[in-house]
Amino acid sequence: MRGEWSDERLMLAYRTGDADAFTTLYSRYRGSLYRYLTQHCGNAALAEELYQDVWIKVVNARTDYEPLARFSTWIFRIAHNRLIDHYRKHAPQLAASFAPQATDDDPDALDDLIDSLPAPLHETPHALLERRTTAERISLALADLPPAQREVFLLAEEGGLTLEEIAAATETGRETTKSRLRYALGKLRHSLQDLL
């Protein structure tokens, strides 16, 4: 039954002590939130640490939670702010650029990214190689986007947020958000046109 509840209803139930509601929310956002963080930092271990930090913030904020926006907007805003805090603390020069680490320097991160992609049950070695090559291309294309465009694209694609929700999560205007998404999509189409 909880599986049919909205995110906001689940969070309100969790606020009143329903631990199963939290479990349902956690499982709903496991993939998209983790992929959002991984795409930003390019490091699976760091993404996992940040992911857990986000959920700790959710747990700590439960008593004050009010559904003033969609839950997805709220949690991705927490993730956005956690990324900024991390880069400010550990690498001030990266805070402005939000640049992910190159996957060539960290083959384990690339393997984790590939493993997180859905795949058919029966794969040939050729299909595995093709998928790995495609994942590398997509990762590089995302890394080549300007940081603000990459963030808007990931919030839309991984978070499923609307333009208004992205604008709220990143504290930018709707039209700016819309332009950034349009430019990101254009650049990705251009970079990946041979894959389309």
Query: Largest Cα–Cα distance in the chain?
Result: 51
- Look at residues 55, 58, 79, 81 and name the one whose alpha carbon lies nearest to residue 12: 58
Under CATH, which number does the domain 2-195 receive?
Answer: 1.10.10.10
State the pLDDT at residue 20: 93
d(CA 38, CA 157): 14
Stretches where the chain sits below pLDDT 70 are 1, 91-129, 196
State the pLDDT at residue 99: 42
- Name the CA dihedral angle for 45, 51, 57, 60, rounded to a multiple of 10 degrees: -90
- Whole-prediction pTM value? 0.60
State the pLDDT at residue 52: 94
State the pLDDT at residue 137: 86
Contact assessment for residue 140 and residue 103, using Cβ atoms and an 8 Å cutoff: yes
In single-letter form, the type of residue at position 126 comes to H
Rg over CA atoms, the chain: 17
Sequence-ordered list of residues with C-beta below 8 angstroms from that of 86, at least 6 positions apart, any chain: 41, 46, 50
Terminal C-alpha separation, the chain:
40
State the pLDDT at residue 105: 54
d(CA 76, CA 165): 9
Q: Is the dihedral of CA 6, 12, 16, 20 positive or negative?
A: positive
